[in-house]
Chains A and B, each alone.
Chain A
Amino acid sequence: MILFEDTIAARATPAGVGAVAVVRLSGPGARAILEAAVRVGPKKPWEHPRRLVLSQVLDAQGRCLDQVLACFLPAPRTYTGEDMVELQGHGGEAAVGAVLGRLLELGARPALPGEFTRRAFENGRMSLDQAEAVARMVEAGSRAELLGAGRALGGELGKRLGELQEALEVALSEAEASLEFPDEEDVTRRVTVRLAPCLEALLTLDRAVRRVGDGGRPRVAVAGRPNVGKSSIINMLSGTEAALVTPQPGTTRDAVPTEVVMAGRALVLVDTAGREPEAGDHVPAGIEGSGPADEAAVRRAREQAERAELVLWVASAEPASGDTAAVRRELSAGLAWIAGLGRAGLGVANKADLLPAGIARALEEELREAGSVLLSARTGQGAEGLVARVAEELDRRQGPADGLPVSVRQAEALRRIRGALERGLENLERGAVELLAEDLREALAGVGLVRGEGIEPDSLDRIFATFCVGK
């Protein structure tokens, strides 16, 4: 079955100079374009599929553009399900550009982003959840994430979804049978028995997934009043001098994203600007600006906090020398502000090195109970505790780092399934089996959304196969 008539080409390795660059072709014309593009010795790549054959790519005048290893992969057992060609050439920009240009001259079309994977999906080589897993695999920033994406690519997400779908279809057929063949008795009990596996399968699935944000990596914003050491914390976590640190309060004006890997999880740390609190400031005004430049920076900071999966509120631990309660007050005020933005927050008291050891221990204990962390960005004391807490919070919100990655779209569909099942339970309690049936259909539609395909449950087939019905 030929789904697409045109042949697409693109470089498969990242831009920039490297030792080797790979250019790929996919589509019905891949072989013809290869034959037209290269000069070969007695061994021709299209006669030796799946082997690397030394070839020269020539321009229209017959001049050699690059020497490459050419590999012809005949359909259908290829990534896209179509005829494919891979050319491994020299990694210079000019060489890659020239080879790609020649392929386009010969009738290939530049591939759109993700188009190879899309063709793989359209040609039935992989399901949509696998196709999405490929994107996650490419994006994976840590070993744990790679493992999760790999499991999804191996079809584990599909398998879990299959289990949920099966449970839902069984429950639906039980509900339908009770509506269509009402001789059967004690419907509520029998349908309840069938709903339990649905909830169990959904719970298992929920625990197994990692919800990936739109930008791919979760963002962690670091907020707090000026000069509490926000940038120092970022530098400590990233092990670089990414953020400019000065003793001058309010040095940071723009939110600077830094990519780090923490506890097996790739994430983006974002610094935000701070400001001197004014007298009578009840709201933690840490990021409100005073001048026009400040105002702009502060607006961006607020936006950063709103876009973040988790916001760290940093306070100085120094006042604890006099009164530990003052630090706790400052942290809880900051966390309330974050909660007001609808985000998750984590309190961090910095500059622990400025406290006498006894007070530091007491404060650490008090903070731990409140879920907050005592830290010294300067000495690194408490860094492990912070990393663990960040990972814990992200686990809670997104799922484990090595979970099966799901996109925003898929996570939304999972939410829809949960909502439908919750409604279904309520409806069943009230004896409204016909509404429960609608809820189960809705949940099945949700499974279809995660999978990227329509599901049409044939509850009649199931009923006839399972129940002794009829007059």
Chain B
Amino acid sequence: MVGAGHAGCEAALAGARLGLATALVTLDRTRVAEMSCNPAIGGLGKSQIVRELDALGGEMGRAADATAIQFRRLNASKGPAIRARRVQCDQADYAAWMRAAVEGCPGLELVEGHAVDLRVGPGGVEGVRLEDGRELLARCVVLTTGTFLGGCLHLGLECTPGGRYGEPAASGLTSALERLGFATGRLKTGTPARLRASSVRLEGLTPQPSDRVVLAFSHDHPPRPMPPGVACHLTRTTPETHAIIREGLSRSPLYTGRIRGRGPRYCPSIEDKVVRFADRDSHQVILEPTGRSQAVLYPNGISTSLPPDVQKRFVRSIPGLERAELIRPGYAVEYDFVPPTQLLPSLEARRLPGLFLAGQINGTSGYEEAAGQGLLAGVNAARKVRGQAPVVLGRHEAYLGVMVDDLVTRGTEEPYRMFSSRAELRLLLREDNAAARLQAWAERIGLLGEAVRAARRERLAQVEALVAQLGELREEGAPGRPSLARVLRRPEVRLAELAPRLGLEVSQDVLEQAEVRIKYEGYVARQLREAEKLSRLAGRPLPEGLDYHAIPGISNEIASKLTTLQPTSFAQAARVDGMTPAALMVLSFWLDHRGCVPRGTSVDGGEDA
């Protein structure tokens, strides 16, 4: 595993825990699992990923639970499918926890070094070459290079190689990949300045306190009370802030064309917001403590790559920050990525067997997205070594499945962040039922110990029993009344209020799962029917090595995309950009009549897809 960030740690832990000799290469062992941007885990669309990770045996959820200093449940007043957990962690504690997990993991060796090349043999990848001449031989290699791959930090018009503030970049690997025939691209992201808390005046700003009860990411921890003390504070930019930023645009790397890489639209820099939404004279800024000691504040909302003097002036034009001291400035980072359509759904490279990619190298953004891919890449690398079939999660099973499918099928033009609207079956892919959805996969993958698995099975059985019970129970025991399950479908009825009256004694977690399941039943059933249609179509395999240009009736553009992508199924082909129903029809017709799929095999979709 090359790179000890959030993807690399999960990949390495998964590989080692599955019993394989694993090395995790990092430039600096003191910076393992660093939170390069704000120290928050979870959030909308992301907390589901952390829960899924935990369901499959990943580490991120436990680490976040153990080091949380602030917790909020987002969208708490909205429907359960879109509720999300979000914690702020103590940045140092989090990294320390993860480093301890890595260093304490049997079979996992943390190697300090600079990976510059891949060793490749006739059968695929054979290992990694380090700058100092060492070679690490391996049956599988997972690259999780983050922003370090060809990284370049922009601070005003100055640009210096680097992967993170004060840290060097990883050079060499990009050209190694290009020599091997991989296409590469460039992306950009950014982060705001960090402020010394003692220089900030918080009185008069709106506090945003933690929720009093923390819901754990981990399925094995019950909710617990949050120790009081850490709050965020809200402030806003002013017209003066915007004027200073506009003046500074002539020295902005973004607005002078120095940055080529595409940045994330959902996380624009403050100069972007000021320019693109010129009619707004104020934007929200959230001051988030980065640790228990609350010595450093992360000003969420003003990420920037303007020169330090401009940064200092605009920061000080914001109420509460008049005397703020910048511990370090904000900056933008440009880095190399490998467009992920070059990967199989297992995250293994199509053109180089044994090479897996995960995290920002695949064009994603976010700790959670990285960790999720890391786990899958680590598991699949281990399974490949063992000769087992890869784990590929379906879009109807997990956000992780949606993400990987989006990446390998459609690729991405900007840093890819998870949004709940990316999941067709959002009502089914919830935080509360992650363990239930992924139970079968978790058993198959085998990262969880028997005791944990047994406890989880027990809880799932309780949910099943409770749902069944609610289908039979009637309020006040009146036989003519609707079942409690029916009553519960009314939005204003809460199971937590019914439960004590009924003498139901189950944990809050079980109660919530049963309730949400019943409330969404109708919609989910309809969506599942749709999903089933999808999977029937998905069941139809597409032969490998098909030259789509040879099929009459498919436009050159689509034929090129399909030939490059080599989708393994119709469902995957259907999601290719620009694919039309007519072209799918032609494809299916062509396969029926002279296709490479021999008649009599599972043309209509067997179990093998």
Judge whether A471 and B301 touch: CB under 8 Å: yes
Pick the contact of B586: A3, A454, A464 (CB < 8 A).
A3
| Bound Cα distance from A459 to B45, whole angstroms | 15
List the A residue with the shortest CB-CB distance to B419: A180
Contact with A along B548-560 (1 / 0, CB 8 A): 0000110110000
State whether the Cβ of B74 lies closer than 8 Å to any Cβ in chain A: yes
* Interface hits, A433-471 → B, CB 8 Å: 433-435, 437-438, 453-454, 459-460, 464, 468-471
**Given contacts A3-B586, A180-B44, A434-B82, A470 and B420 within 8 Å (CB-CB):** no
Judge whether B78 and A179 touch: CB under 8 Å: yes
Judge whether A471 and B276 touch: CB under 8 Å: no
Judge whether B421 and A179 touch: CB under 8 Å: yes
Pick the contact of A180: B45, B303, B553 (CB < 8 A).
B45
**Given contacts A464-B265, A468-B276, A431 and B77 within 8 Å (CB-CB):** yes
Judge whether B79 and A432 touch: CB under 8 Å: yes
* Interface hits, A90-127 → B, CB 8 Å: 122, 124
State whether the Cβ of A358 lies closer than 8 Å to any Cβ in chain B: no
Chain B interface mostly = loop
List the A residue with the shortest CB-CB distance to B280: A468
Interface size on A, residues (CB 8 A): 30
Judge whether A179 and B420 touch: CB under 8 Å: yes
Judge whether B79 and A433 touch: CB under 8 Å: yes
Pick the contact of A433: B78, B268, B427, B527 (CB < 8 A).
B78
Judge whether B283 and A468 touch: CB under 8 Å: yes
Judge whether B78 and A431 touch: CB under 8 Å: yes
Shortest Cβ gap from A109 to chain B (Å): 15
Judge whether B78 and A182 touch: CB under 8 Å: yes
**Chain A residues positioned under 8 Å from B81 (CB to CB):** 434
**Given contacts A433-B79, A434-B82, A468-B283, A460 and B419 within 8 Å (CB-CB):** yes
**Chain A residues positioned under 8 Å from B267 (CB to CB):** 470-471
Judge whether B266 and A470 touch: CB under 8 Å: yes
List the B residue with the shortest CB-CB distance to A124: B582
**Chain B residues positioned under 8 Å from A357 (CB to CB):** none
**Chain B residues positioned under 8 Å from A138 (CB to CB):** none
Pick the contact of A2: B38, B78, B552 (CB < 8 A).
B552
Q: Taking each of A3, A438, A470, which has the highest tally of chain B beta carbons within 10 Å of its own beta carbon?
A: A470
List the B residue with the shortest CB-CB distance to A437: B421
Judge whether B79 and A435 touch: CB under 8 Å: yes
Pick the contact of B44: A1, A179, A459, A460 (CB < 8 A).
A179
**Given contacts A437-B421, A468-B280, A471-B301, A2 and B79 within 8 Å (CB-CB):** no
| Bound Cα distance from A86 to B553, whole angstroms | 24
Judge whether B491 and A438 touch: CB under 8 Å: no
Judge whether A180 and B420 touch: CB under 8 Å: yes
| Bound Cα distance from A1 to B523, whole angstroms | 41
State whether the Cβ of B437 lies closer than 8 Å to any Cβ in chain A: no
State whether the Cβ of A47 lies closer than 8 Å to any Cβ in chain B: no
Pick the contact of B266: A5, A435, A437, A464 (CB < 8 A).
A464
**Chain A residues positioned under 8 Å from B268 (CB to CB):** 468, 470
**Chain A residues positioned under 8 Å from B79 (CB to CB):** 432-435
List the B residue with the shortest CB-CB distance to A459: B421
State whether the Cβ of B256 lies closer than 8 Å to any Cβ in chain A: no
**Chain B residues positioned under 8 Å from A434 (CB to CB):** 78-79, 81-82, 426-427
**Given contacts A1-B555, A179-B421, A438 and B523 within 8 Å (CB-CB):** yes
Judge whether B44 and A182 touch: CB under 8 Å: yes
State whether the Cβ of B459 lies closer than 8 Å to any Cβ in chain A: no
Judge whether B553 and A1 touch: CB under 8 Å: yes
List the B residue with the shortest CB-CB distance to A177: B421
List the A residue with the shortest CB-CB distance to B84: A182
Shortest Cβ gap from A256 to chain B (Å): 42
Q: Taking each of B280, B283, B419, which has the highest tally of chain A beta carbons within 10 Å of its own beta carbon?
A: B419
**Given contacts A4-B553, A432-B491, A434-B426, A179 and B82 within 8 Å (CB-CB):** yes
**Chain B residues positioned under 8 Å from A453 (CB to CB):** 580-581
| Bound Cα distance from A214 to B300, whole angstroms | 60
| Bound Cα distance from A437 to B82, whole angstroms | 11
**Given contacts A182-B78, A464-B266, A468-B276, A2 and B553 within 8 Å (CB-CB):** yes
State whether the Cβ of A318 lies closer than 8 Å to any Cβ in chain B: no
Shortest Cβ gap from B55 to chain A (Å): 22
* Interface hits, A1-41 → B, CB 8 Å: 1-5
| Bound Cα distance from A417 to B348, whole angstroms | 42
State whether the Cβ of A66 lies closer than 8 Å to any Cβ in chain B: no
State whether the Cβ of B507 lies closer than 8 Å to any Cβ in chain A: no
Judge whether B74 and A3 touch: CB under 8 Å: no
List the A residue with the shortest CB-CB distance to B422: A460
Judge whether A471 and B523 touch: CB under 8 Å: no
Contact with B along A389-420 (1 / 0, CB 8 A): 00000000000000000000000000000000
| Bound Cα distance from A438 to B81, whole angstroms | 12
Judge whether A471 and B44 touch: CB under 8 Å: no
Judge whether B301 and A182 touch: CB under 8 Å: no
| Bound Cα distance from A248 to B556, whole angstroms | 73
| Bound Cα distance from A124 to B581, whole angstroms | 12
State whether the Cβ of A159 lies closer than 8 Å to any Cβ in chain B: no
Shortest Cβ gap from A97 to chain B (Å): 30
**Chain A residues positioned under 8 Å from B78 (CB to CB):** 179, 182, 431-434
Shortest Cβ gap from A26 to chain B (Å): 15
**Chain B residues positioned under 8 Å from A181 (CB to CB):** 44
**Chain A residues positioned under 8 Å from B313 (CB to CB):** none
Pick the contact of B421: A5, A122, A176, A469 (CB < 8 A).
A176
Shortest Cβ gap from B13 to chain A (Å): 28
State whether the Cβ of A183 lies closer than 8 Å to any Cβ in chain B: yes
State whether the Cβ of B277 lies closer than 8 Å to any Cβ in chain A: yes
State whether the Cβ of B284 lies closer than 8 Å to any Cβ in chain A: yes
Shortest Cβ gap from A28 to chain B (Å): 9
List the B residue with the shortest CB-CB distance to A461: B265
List the B residue with the shortest CB-CB distance to A122: B582
State whether the Cβ of B75 lies closer than 8 Å to any Cβ in chain A: yes
| Bound Cα distance from A4 to B553, whole angstroms | 7
State whether the Cβ of B129 lies closer than 8 Å to any Cβ in chain A: no
State whether the Cβ of A430 lies closer than 8 Å to any Cβ in chain B: yes
State whether the Cβ of B474 lies closer than 8 Å to any Cβ in chain A: no
Pick the contact of B491: A3, A430, A469, A471 (CB < 8 A).
A430
| Bound Cα distance from A432 to B490, whole angstroms | 11
* Interface hits, A170-214 → B, CB 8 Å: 176, 179-183
| Bound Cα distance from A181 to B273, whole angstroms | 15
| Bound Cα distance from A183 to B234, whole angstroms | 12
**Chain A residues positioned under 8 Å from B556 (CB to CB):** 1
**Chain B residues positioned under 8 Å from A469 (CB to CB):** 266
Q: Taking each of A176, A432, A434, which has the highest tally of chain B beta carbons within 10 Å of its own beta carbon?
A: A434
**Given contacts A468-B273, A469-B266, A470-B268, A3 and B420 within 8 Å (CB-CB):** no
Shortest Cβ gap from B273 to chain A (Å): 6
**Chain A residues positioned under 8 Å from B38 (CB to CB):** 471
Judge whether B284 and A183 touch: CB under 8 Å: yes
| Bound Cα distance from A224 to B556, whole angstroms | 64
Q: Taking each of A1, A124, A431, A459, which has the highest tally of chain B beta carbons within 10 Å of its own beta carbon?
A: A1
* Interface hits, B283-303 → A, CB 8 Å: 283-284, 286, 300-301, 303
Judge whether B553 and A3 touch: CB under 8 Å: yes
**Given contacts A179-B82, A183-B284, A433-B79, A3 and B582 within 8 Å (CB-CB):** yes
Judge whether B552 and A179 touch: CB under 8 Å: no
Query: Residues of B with Cβ closer than 8 Å to A?
Result: 38, 44-45, 74-75, 77-79, 81-82, 264-268, 273, 276-277, 280, 283-284, 286, 300-301, 303, 419-422, 426-427, 491, 523, 527, 552-553, 555-556, 580-582, 585-586
* Other A-B pairs beyond A464-B266, A468-B276, 11, CB < 8 Å: A1-B553, A4-B552, A180-B421, A430-B491, A431-B77, A431-B491, A433-B78, A434-B79, A438-B427, A453-B580, A453-B581
Can you list 23 pairs linking A and B with CB atoms under 8 Å apart? Answer: A1-B553, A1-B555, A3-B553, A3-B586, A4-B553, A122-B582, A124-B582, A176-B421, A179-B44, A179-B75, A179-B78, A180-B419, A182-B44, A435-B79, A435-B427, A454-B581, A468-B268, A468-B273, A468-B280, A468-B283, A470-B268, A471-B38, A471-B300
The 6 A-B residue pairs whose C-beta atoms are closest, nearest first, are: A434-B79, A464-B265, A3-B553, A470-B267, A468-B277, A430-B491
